[in-house]
Structure 1
Amino acid sequence: MCGFAGLVNLSGLAGDRPGRQRLLEDMLSRIAHRGPDDETFFDDGILALGFRRLSIVDVEGGRQPLQDDSNKTIAVVNGEIYNHQELRGRFSKTYHFRSHSDSEVLLPLYHRHGLSFLDDVNGIYATALWDTSARRLILARDRLGVKPLYFAMIGDTLLFASELKALLAHPDCPREPDWQQVQDAHALHLPVAPSFVRDIHHLPAAHMLILEQGRPPRAQRYWSIHEQFADPVAPARHTADHYIERFGALLEDSVGRQLMSDVPLGVFLSGGIDSSLITAAASRRQQTFHCFTIDEETTAMTGDLEQARRVASDLSLPLHPVRYNGTAMLDELQFDLKYFEYMIWCVDSPRFNMEWFLKHELYRYAKTRYPEIKVILTGAGADEFAGGYSTSYNMHGGSWDSYLNTHVESHSRFFRSRENAQTRFDGPATAFGRDRHKRNGYQHMMHMNLVSLQVYNLWFEDRVSAAHGIEARVPFLDHRLVELLVSVPPEHFQALFWDKQIIRAQLRGLLPSYPGDFPKVPFVFVPGNHSITALRLAIVERVFEAFS
C-alpha cells in the first residue's frame, strides 16, 4: 500500500518547479499515513508527481517512481502485483529489471501490450503510468476497486491522487459537496463509486483514464464480468462439486499469493466462517502469524469470540482479542467532535458508520502492539458473491426461494430500473442493463455488489487500514474467484450459495473441527444485543451537545 498525487498538463504545467514541489508536498502530507517509509518526487514540466511508500516487497530496492531502461516510461503503483514473478519470466531476455519490486513488471507489460497491459495482472492496485514518447498518461484501478484513485480537471490540467483529501490541497480544486451522492450512497443507489464532491471523480474499478495530446480524457473499461455469467436457461455444464473443487483450488492459490511480503503480516480472525477459512488456508502456507479479533459484548453473545479462540488454538496461532469496553473506550480515545471530524477525514466520506470506527480501532491496536506488521489479510468479499446474505444470525426457517422472492427481488428491481442511467463511465448498472433479459434476480444482485463493495466494504477497509500504515488484503476478491462464482449456473445456486455452502465445503476440508452449522453473524448489529447501539448513542451525545 502506498499513496501518490500528481498533476499533468500536456501543453506544459503552469508555475515554476519549486512552486509545484510545495504543492505536491502539501498534497502528500495529507496522505503520508499511506506511505510512512519514503517520499519521492518527479517533475518534467508536463507531469509533476509525488509518491509516499509503504515498503512491503523489495524493501531496500523498490523505490518509486519506477522507470524503464530508456527513462521514457515511468509509473507509480499503490498496491501489489501478486503474480509478478510469473509475469517477469516473460521478459527475462527482453527487459532489464532495475529492482525486485512487484510493481516494476507493469513497465515491460505496457511496452509489449500497450493499453492491454493489465489484462494478465493479478493484484490490487491503482497506478499512474506516464509515456513520455507518446505524451500519454494512464490512470487505472484494479478490477474490483480495492485501491482508490480520484481525479479532477482544472482547466487543461488533470489533477489526481490516491485520496480525496490530497486533491483538496490544490487551491483551485472543486470542493462543493454533492449531497445527492450522499443520499444515493446511503441507499446504494449509485451506478459507480462516488467522490461526494461535484466535479471530482472516483475512477471506477476496472477502468483506465487515458489522457493524450489533442483529445479530452477518456475512460475505458478493461475488464468486465458480463461475459462470465452463466446463461440462466441453459443446462449446467458442470456439477456443483466441480465448482466446489475449483473454488477451493483458486482460494488456496489466492491466499498463497497474497501472503507475498518481505515484512511481517497478520490476519483478522473474527471467528466467522470467512475469516476462519482465510486463516486456515494461510496457516498451510505460513507457519505462524498474529491473529486479531474483537472482544465485545456482541461477539461474546454470538459465539464469534469463542470460535476465534478455538480456530487459533486448533491452528496453533497466537490470537490477540482486542477488548472494546463501551464508553470506557471512548474515554480513552477522548472521543469528541474533533475525533469525530478526524474519522470523517480519515474515510474521505461525509458518512460515519460504527463498523468503520470499530475496524479503525482494531487496526490501531494491531499497529500499536506490533509496529512491524504492514499487511493484514481479511475475510471481506465472500458475502457478495457466495450467498453471504441468504441467511443470518438468529434466523429460523427460511429457504433459498423465500430469499429470492424477498430480499433479492426487491434489490434487482431497483437495479434494473437504473438501466438507462447516464453516467460518465460504463458503470455496472448501465452495462448490465443492456443484457438484463438474459439474467435472473440473483445474478443482478451479484453484479450490483460490484458497486456496493466500492461504496462500502472496500472503501472503509482501505481507509481505516491505511490510516495506520497497514495494507488490507482480500483473498476472496481475487478476480478469478469472482469470475468463477458468477459463472455458476442458477440450477446450482441453492446447493452452493444458500447459507454459503460453497464456503462451508472448504472449511470441512481445511478445518474439520469448525462447526458446520455455525451461523453467519453481522459484524456490528445483532438482534437481541444493544451494546453497539448504546456506544453509538454515547458518540452522538459526545459530539452534539444538544443530545447530551
Structure 2
Amino acid sequence: MCGINGFNWKDEKLIRRMNEITRHRGPDAAGFYCDDLVSLGNNRLSIIDLDPRANQPMTGEDGRFVIVYNGEIYNFEDIRRELSDYPFKTKSDTEVILAAYEKWGKESFRKLNGMYAFAIWDKKEKELVLARDPVGVKPLLYYFNQKKFIFSSEIKAILLHEDVLREVDPLAVAAFFRILYTPAPLTGFSKIQKLLPGHYISWRGGNITIKKFFQWGAGNAVMSREETLDTVKKLIFKAVKRQLVSDRPLGLYLSGGLDSTTVLHAMSKVTENIETFSVGFRLSNKAEEEKFNQDFLIAKKVAAHYRTNHHAVEITPDDVASSLEEAVAGRDDPISNPTAIPMLFLANFTKKFVTVALSGDGGDELFGGYERYRYAKLAESFQKVAGFAGLITPILGGRAKKLLVKPGIDQFKLFMFQKDTDFDGVFKQRTLLSEDDVVKFFQKNIFENLLWQSGPDMLMRADFESWLPDQALALADTMSMMASLEQRVPLLDLPLAQFLLSIPASRKISFRTNKRLIREAFAKDLPDFLFRQPKRGWFAPGAKWLREPKVLSVVRLILSEGYNSQTGKIFNWPRINVLLDDHMAKRGYHLNLIWAILTFQIWARKYNVSC
C-alpha cells in the first residue's frame, strides 16, 4: 500500500512536498522521479518484498517505463509465470505490473486482480497513463486545465499547486446533502475529479483521454442451486487465500457479522494463530450501550469459537470528543458518517499489532445484505398484482409508499435521498440543494445503463457502482491509511465479484431473509449462534453521542458561524441549533442532517474553500 503523486512538468521541490503531505500512506520509504516532462512521487508502505530494490518509482529493464503504484495485485505470481522471459530483479508485484505493461500495454490492465491505482510514464511515446481497479478500492484523483495535469492518491496533495483553485462544485454539494457522500467523478472541488473504477486516463501531447478497460457482466447466470453454492464457497476460499500473501503481520477486522466471520472461517483453513480485532462503544446510558455492542459481543464469541488471538477495544464519549474533527477532516471530499470515528480508532489500535487487516467489506452489496433490497423485491412482486395500489394503501397508509415506487432512480431516491422537509429553514440558499440536478446526475451516470434490470438488481448495482466505492470503500481507505494500515477486502476479489454480479438478485434475496447464498453455502461451517442473529449492520451510536455532554460541546463549537466564517452565507445557525436542542432533548431525530452540516463545516474549514 502506498501513496502516489505526479504532474506533467519538472519540479523536484513540489513533488517532494506532495510526497510529504501523503506520507501517512507509506511511511517506510519515499522516492521521486523527474525528467523534463514529468515528476512522479511515491510513499511506500512495504507489504510484499521488503527489499529496498522494490521501492518506487521503479524503472523497467530497458529504461523506457517508470511506475508509481498504490495497492496490491493478488494474482501477480500467476502473471509473473506468464512473463518468464522477463529478467525480474525483485519479488514485488510492482515489477510485475511494469513487466506486463511492457509486453501487453493497456491490455495488461484486464489481467490484474487486485486493488490498485498506478501511473506509468512511457519515455519513448511521451505518454503518462493512470489506471484504477474495477471495484474502486484504491482512490485516484486528478486535475487538468488544458495545460497542467496533476494526480494523486489524495486531494490535499493536488491542492498544494497554486493553480488549483479551491472552488466548491455546486453539484457535489447538492449531492452530498442529498445522499451524504460525494459520488464519482465529483469530489467537492469544481476542477478536481475522481478517476472512475475500471478506467484509465492517458495524458499525451497536452491532451487527456479517458477510457473504460473493464466491464462488469450481467445478472443472467444459469446454474443449479448446488453448483452456485459450491462456486461461491470455492471462490471465497480462493480469494481469502490469495489475499493472505504478505511479508508483514496480518490480521482481520471481526465485526461479529456474517461477512467477516465467513472470511475468518476461510482464513482458519489455511493459517493458524489468527489475529482478530473489533471495536465497541461505551455510553453513559448502559441500556443503550448494550444495544450498540451486540455485534461486539458476538465478535468475541466468534473469536473464541475459532480460537483467534482476539484484540478488543472500546471507544468512550471522551475518545469521540477528542478525535471527531480528526476523523471527519481525514476525508478529502465530504462523507457524512459517524462510523468514521470508530473506524479510525480501530485502525490505530490494529496498527499496534499488524500492518495488514482483512475485512468483510463488500458482502452487503454483492450478497444482498441491505434491507432496501428486500423492499425492492417486495415492491416488484406486489406491483405485478392488478389493483394492488388500491388494496394496500387503505391498509398501510403512508407505509405503502415504499412498495409503490417504480424501480430505478425513483426507488433509489426513496431509499437514499434526504427529504426536502429535513432542510426546512436550515439553508439560506436552497439552490445549493437542487434535487433535480442530483437526480439527473444519477440517471445519466448510473441508471441509464441499468434499465434492462429488475428493481432489486438495479438498486444493488447502483450501490455497487456508487455507494460502495464512493462511501464505504473511500471511508475505509482513508481511515486505514491515516493509521498507515493496509485494509484488504477479499469478498470483493475480482473473480468472486464477477460471479456474484452474474447472479440475479432474485437468487440472493428472499422475502424472509437476506444474503441467501452466503448463508446457505456456509450453513454447515459457521457457528449456529451466528445464524440466529438478526441483520443489524455495523454502525456507530452517532445519535447517542450527540447527547453526551463532552461530544455535544465540541459539536456546538463546530455548528457555529465563528467556526468557519465562509459558511455563514449558507447556513441558518439559529435554526440548526434549535434542531440540535430538539435532538438532545429527544424531541426529534436529526442525526443525518446535523452530522452532514458538521462534516461540511469541518471540510470547508480545513480546505478554506470558497463557498
TM-score relative to the length of structure 2: 0.77
Superimposed CA distance per residue, residues 161-181 of structure 1 (whole angstroms, 9 cap, x where no aligned partner): 110001001111232122420
Point out where structure 2 has 5 or more consecutive residues left out of the alignment: 283-287, 383-401, 414-436, 562-576, 582-611
Does the 8 Å contact 1:300/1:306 carry over to 2? no
Indicate the SS of the match to 2:175: helix
**Following the alignment from structure 1 to structure 2, what is the Cα–Cα distance between the partners of residues 435 and 378?**
30
Q: Equivalent residue for 1:6? A: 6
Superimposed CA distance per residue, residues 239-274 of structure 1 (whole angstroms, 9 cap, x where no aligned partner): 233222111111111111111110001211111111
Deviation of 1:42 (Å): 0.2
Deviation of 1:343 (Å): 3.2
Does the 8 Å contact 2:335/2:471 carry over to 1? no
Q: 1:291 to 1:480 in 2, by over 3 A?
A: same
**Following the alignment from structure 2 to structure 1, what is the Cα–Cα distance between the partners of residues 290 and 519?**
22
Counterpart amino acid of 2:117?
A
Counterpart amino acid of 1:241?
E
Q: 1:197 to 1:491 in 2, by over 3 A?
A: closer
**Following the alignment from structure 1 to structure 2, what is the Cα–Cα distance between the partners of residues 4 and 435?**
32
Indicate the SS of the match to 2:514: helix
**Following the alignment from structure 2 to structure 1, what is the Cα–Cα distance between the partners of residues 552 and 357?**
30
CA RMSD of aligned residues (A): 3.0
Does the 8 Å contact 2:27/2:45 carry over to 1? yes
Alignment of 1:47-86 (within 5 A): 47-60=38-51, 61-86=53-78
Does the 8 Å contact 2:380/2:455 carry over to 1? no
How many pairs were matched up? 509
Q: Equivalent residue for 2:339? A: 355
Does the 8 Å contact 2:3/2:42 carry over to 1? yes
Deviation of 1:511 (Å): 2.0
Indicate the SS of the match to 1:134: coil
Alignment of 1:133-282 (within 5 A): 133-188=124-179, 192-213=184-205, 216-225=207-216, 227-230=217-220, 237-282=222-267
Q: 1:384 to 1:193 in 2, by over 3 A?
A: farther
**Following the alignment from structure 1 to structure 2, what is the Cα–Cα distance between the partners of residues 167 and 56?**
26
**Following the alignment from structure 2 to structure 1, what is the Cα–Cα distance between the partners of residues 531 and 63?**
56
**Following the alignment from structure 1 to structure 2, what is the Cα–Cα distance between the partners of residues 325 and 299?**
10
Q: Equivalent residue for 1:380? A: 361
Indicate the SS of the match to 1:111: helix
Q: Computing the radius of gyration over CA atoms, which structure comes out larger, 1 or 2?
A: 2
| Percent identity between the two aligned chains | 27
**Following the alignment from structure 1 to structure 2, what is the Cα–Cα distance between the partners of residues 170 and 83?**
36
Q: Equivalent residue for 2:574? A: none
Does the 8 Å contact 1:391/1:520 carry over to 2? no
Q: Equivalent residue for 2:566? A: none
Does the 8 Å contact 2:176/2:334 carry over to 1? no
Q: 1:539 to 1:355 in 2, by over 3 A?
A: farther
Does the 8 Å contact 1:412/1:445 carry over to 2? yes
1:438 aligns with 2:452: yes
Indicate the SS of the match to 1:454: helix
Q: Equivalent residue for 2:349? A: 365
1:295 aligns with 2:280: yes
Deviation of 1:309 (Å): 1.0
Deviation of 1:287 (Å): 0.5
Superimposed CA distance per residue, residues 498-534 of structure 1 (whole angstroms, 9 cap, x where no aligned partner): 42121222442432444323111132267xx953453
Indicate the SS of the match to 1:291: strand
Q: 1:166 to 1:520 in 2, by over 3 A?
A: same
Counterpart amino acid of 1:376?
A
1:476 aligns with 2:472: no
Deviation of 1:4 (Å): 1.3
Q: Find the partner of 1:114 among 94, 105, 109.
A: 105
Q: Equivalent residue for 1:284? A: 269
Counterpart amino acid of 1:201?
Q
Q: Find the partner of 1:329 among 313, 319, 322.
A: 319
Does the 8 Å contact 2:175/2:183 carry over to 1? no
**Following the alignment from structure 2 to structure 1, what is the Cα–Cα distance between the partners of residues 250 and 199?**
29
**Following the alignment from structure 1 to structure 2, what is the Cα–Cα distance between the partners of residues 123 and 251?**
14
Q: Equivalent residue for 2:534? A: 519
Indicate the SS of the match to 1:64: coil
Does the 8 Å contact 1:415/1:429 carry over to 2? no
**Following the alignment from structure 2 to structure 1, what is the Cα–Cα distance between the partners of residues 23 and 545?**
31
Q: 1:537 to 1:353 in 2, by over 3 A?
A: farther
Superimposed CA distance per residue, residues 10-68 of structure 1 (whole angstroms, 9 cap, x where no aligned partner): xxx3xxx5xx1111121111111001000111001111111100000001132111221
Counterpart amino acid of 1:23?
L
Q: Equivalent residue for 1:412? A: 408
Indicate the SS of the match to 1:439: coil
**Following the alignment from structure 1 to structure 2, what is the Cα–Cα distance between the partners of residues 97 and 543?**
53
Superimposed CA distance per residue, residues 96-151 of structure 1 (whole angstroms, 9 cap, x where no aligned partner): 11211112111221122222111111000000011111111111100011000111
Does the 8 Å contact 1:72/1:132 carry over to 2? yes
Please identify, of 355-364 and 297-306, the stretch whose mean Cα deviation from structure 2 is larger: 297-306
Counterpart amino acid of 2:378?
D
Please identify, of 538-547 and 286-295, the stretch whose mean Cα deviation from structure 2 is larger: 538-547
Does the 8 Å contact 2:303/2:310 carry over to 1? yes
Indicate the SS of the match to 2:110: coil
Q: 1:351 to 1:451 in 2, by over 3 A?
A: closer
**Following the alignment from structure 1 to structure 2, what is the Cα–Cα distance between the partners of residues 81 and 482?**
16
Does the 8 Å contact 2:121/2:128 carry over to 1? yes
Q: 1:398 to 1:110 in 2, by over 3 A?
A: closer
Deviation of 1:495 (Å): 5.2
Q: 1:364 to 1:435 in 2, by over 3 A?
A: closer
**Following the alignment from structure 1 to structure 2, what is the Cα–Cα distance between the partners of residues 246 and 199?**
44
Superimposed CA distance per residue, residues 192-240 of structure 1 (whole angstroms, 9 cap, x where no aligned partner): 34211011111111110011226x2011011121x3332xxxxx73123
**Following the alignment from structure 1 to structure 2, what is the Cα–Cα distance between the partners of residues 538 and 319?**
34
Indicate the SS of the match to 1:146: coil
Alignment of 1:21-32 (within 5 A): 21-32=12-23
**Following the alignment from structure 1 to structure 2, what is the Cα–Cα distance between the partners of residues 497 and 130?**
53
Q: Equivalent residue for 1:461? A: 476
**Following the alignment from structure 1 to structure 2, what is the Cα–Cα distance between the partners of residues 223 and 150?**
19
**Following the alignment from structure 1 to structure 2, what is the Cα–Cα distance between the partners of residues 414 and 116?**
38
Q: 1:211 to 1:391 in 2, by over 3 A?
A: closer
**Following the alignment from structure 2 to structure 1, what is the Cα–Cα distance between the partners of residues 82 and 60?**
16
Q: 1:506 to 1:492 in 2, by over 3 A?
A: closer
Please identify, of 105-114 and 291-300, the stretch whose mean Cα deviation from structure 2 is larger: 291-300
Counterpart amino acid of 2:4?
F
Q: Equivalent residue for 1:508? A: 523
Indicate the SS of the match to 1:348: coil
Q: 1:407 to 1:44 in 2, by over 3 A?
A: farther
Q: Equivalent residue for 1:534? A: 547
Q: 1:351 to 1:376 in 2, by over 3 A?
A: same
Indicate the SS of the match to 1:541: helix
Does the 8 Å contact 2:253/2:278 carry over to 1? yes
Q: Equivalent residue for 2:378? A: 401
**Following the alignment from structure 1 to structure 2, what is the Cα–Cα distance between the partners of residues 72 and 508?**
53
